[in-house]
């Protein structure tokens, strides 16, 4: 049994470390902070989930009021059983007196934590952070029926990256536009994890290893460790590409496609990658068609895939995919993101659907002039526009901006850096 005094020491030291971090380091206010703040309430636990090292603890800590309790359960001194969690409360009250706001970092490390949170959230404001989507486990939903909200945090957006670099571009100044494009090149290469700007790209190596080892292999007790590592490398190396799970089964000589489905789900649960389904009005066709795979961060794309830096168009598409999913999550709208492809292999990169209506079609192309845009991109966009009854058509380019009409359809061209800041 752990002593309360030992808990107090661990709690105090970890909170003090974070306070010093806020005092010494440049802390960027996240775009979503006001939205998240509005979700914090008594009688409901707010779960902030997301990939490792994307800033969940900093965000959660910044939302605390003047007197709140913060506990980081990654501290080895807090390796306790669920029945000892009440001692954590005792330690917090002893340190700080009366409070009704708690931030529990990585509490899923304590088996059976759900009942504890269910009990105390009825009269307290509680934020929980964690690296793994298993925070949304069936057991948790059972114990907290109607008493939990979830919010997924992403690595830095391009706007947050510019804030980190203390740069606010004036879109009408040529020198600012040039600087924005130069910083976009850096953002595509390094990605959006805050620590990569401080420690260099070696951080990505450690991060990738931690995600696979701690959030995938250890959490799911996987027998064939090398196999899932090889699948992860293959998927990320083929970012922004169509992937068939049946093809993966054949490539890696796996007996059952169910095993492939499970492995991809584990990697998605760890927020390492995500898939977009092909759009179809027939639900069964969505499931049967190949998926398009994207990595959670372009810096990780570059670390895993040796030729990623040469695939600028694919990196642009991956950034747009992340941004679309980020905007969907941060806005809390019930929108859906797909890609589109017809039987003639004409393809549109992104289909945005809200409720029962397709609201936007987006192509992404590495073009700086109109004549650099492949005709197939325009043909596919017009065809999808007719078939899906959507007239909001966007082509995201590297450095071409215009608006034109083709077949009575208005197409807007916007440079990537500008679209990311909209």
Same domain, yes or no, for 54 and 120?
yes
The number of domains in the chain is 3
Same domain, yes or no, for 417 and 361?
yes
Same domain, yes or no, for 8 and 129?
yes
Residue 181 has pLDDT above 60, yes or no: yes
* Of 127, 104, 106, 115, residue with least CA distance to 44: 127
What are the tokens at 66? Answer: 């003047």
In a domain, 161, yes or no: no
Same domain, yes or no, for 331 and 400?
yes
Q: HSE on the CB side for 251, CA within 13 Å?
A: 13
- Residue 391: the pLDDT is 97
Please, are residues 12 and 69 in contact by the beta-carbon 8 Å criterion? no
- Residue 137: the pLDDT is 58
Report DSSP letters for 91-111, one per residue.
HHHHHH-S--EEEEETGGGST
Residue 111 has pLDDT above 70, yes or no: yes
Give the CATH number for residue 19: 3.40.50.300
Residue 66 has pLDDT above 90, yes or no: no
Same domain, yes or no, for 234 and 324?
no
pLDDT per residue as tens digits for the range 288-320: 899 999 999 999 999 999 888 889 999 999 999
In a domain, 171, yes or no: no
* Cα→Cα distances 420→33, 158, 184, 347, Å: 18, 6, 10, 22
In a domain, 75, yes or no: yes
Burial class (CB within 10 angstroms; exposed 0-12, middle 13-18, buried 19+) of 402: exposed
Q: CA-based angle 320:52:136, to the nearest 5?
A: 90
Q: Which structural domain range is residue 422 located in?
A: 312-422
Same domain, yes or no, for 262 and 328?
no
In a domain, 185, yes or no: no
In a domain, 172, yes or no: no
pLDDT per residue as tens digits for the range 363-417: 999 999 999 999 999 999 999 999 999 999 999 999 999 999 999 999 999 999 9
In a domain, 191, yes or no: no
Same domain, yes or no, for 279 and 379?
no
Same domain, yes or no, for 120 and 135?
yes
Same domain, yes or no, for 353 and 305?
no
Same domain, yes or no, for 328 and 215?
no
Which of 310, 330, 350 is the last residue in one of the domains?
310
- Residue 145: the pLDDT is 72
In a domain, 321, yes or no: yes
Beta-bridge partners for 127 = 46, 103
Give the CATH number for residue 418: 3.40.1350
Which of 294, 310, 326 is the last residue in one of the domains?
310
The chain-wide mean pLDDT, for the chain, equals: 93
Which of 264, 293, 310 is the last residue in one of the domains?
310
Same domain, yes or no, for 288 and 341?
no
pLDDT per residue as tens digits for the range 231-272: 999 999 999 999 999 999 999 999 999 999 999 999 999 999
Same domain, yes or no, for 77 and 209?
no
User: What are the backbone angles phi and psi of residue 409, rounded to the nearest 5°?
Assistant: -110, 130
Please, are residues 257 and 251 in contact by the beta-carbon 8 Å criterion? no
What are the tokens at 367? Answer: 């073009």
In a domain, 168, yes or no: no
Give the CATH number for residue 243: 1.10.10
Measure the CA–CA gap between 24 and 353, rounded to whole angstroms.
43
């Amino acid at each position: 049994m752990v002593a309360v005094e030992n808990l107090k020491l661990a709690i105090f030291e970890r909170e003090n470390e974070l306070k010093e971090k806020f005092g010494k380091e440049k802390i960027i206010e996240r775009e979503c902070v006001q939205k998240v703040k509005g979700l914090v309430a008594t009688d409901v636990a707010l779960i902030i989930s997301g990939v490792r090292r994307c800033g969940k603890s900093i965000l959660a800590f910044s939302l605390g009021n003047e007197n709140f309790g913060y506990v980081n359960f990654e501290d080895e001194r807090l390796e306790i059983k669920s029945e000892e969690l009440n001692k954590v409360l005792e330690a917090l009250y002893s340190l700080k007196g009366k409070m009704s706001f708690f931030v529990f970092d990585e509490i899923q490390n304590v088996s059976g934590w759900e009942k504890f949170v269910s009990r105390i959230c009825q009269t307290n404001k509680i934020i929980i952070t964690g690296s793994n989507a298993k925070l949304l486990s069936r057991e948790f939903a059972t114990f907290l029926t109607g008493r939990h909200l979830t919010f997924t945090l992403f690595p830095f957006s391009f706007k947050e990256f510019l804030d980190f670099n203390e740069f606010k571009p004036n879109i009408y100044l040529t020198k600012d536009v040039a600087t924005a494009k130069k910083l976009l090149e850096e953002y595509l290469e390094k990605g959006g994890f805050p620590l990569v700007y401080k420690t260099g790209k070696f951080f990505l190596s450690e991060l990738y290893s931690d995600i696979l080892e701690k959030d995938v292999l250890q959490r799911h007790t996987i027998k064939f460790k090398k196999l899932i590592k090889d699948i992860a490398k293959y998927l990320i190396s083929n970012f922004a590409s169509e992937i068939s799970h049946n093809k993966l089964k054949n490539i890696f000589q796996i007996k059952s496609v169910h095993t492939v489905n499970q492995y991809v789900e584990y990697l998605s649960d760890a927020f390492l990658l995500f898939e977009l389904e092909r759009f179809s009005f027939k639900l069964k066709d969505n499931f049967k068609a190949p998926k398009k795979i994207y990595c959670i961060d372009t810096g990780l794309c570059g670390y895993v895939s040796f030729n990623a830096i040469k695939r600028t168009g694919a990196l642009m598409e991956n950034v747009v995919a992340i941004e679309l999913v980020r905007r969907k999550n941060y806005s809390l709208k019930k929108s859906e993101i797909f890609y589109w492809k017809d039987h003639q292999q004409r393809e549109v990169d992104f289909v945005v659907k809200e409720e029962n209506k397709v609201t936007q079609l987006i192509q992404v192309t590495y073009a700086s002039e109109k004549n650099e845009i492949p005709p197939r991109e325009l043909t596919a966009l017009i065809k999808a526009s007719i078939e899906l009854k959507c007239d909001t058509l966007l082509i995201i380019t590297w450095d071409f901006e215009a608006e034109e009409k083709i077949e009575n359809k208005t197409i807007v061209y916007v440079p990537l850096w500008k679209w990311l800041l909209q």
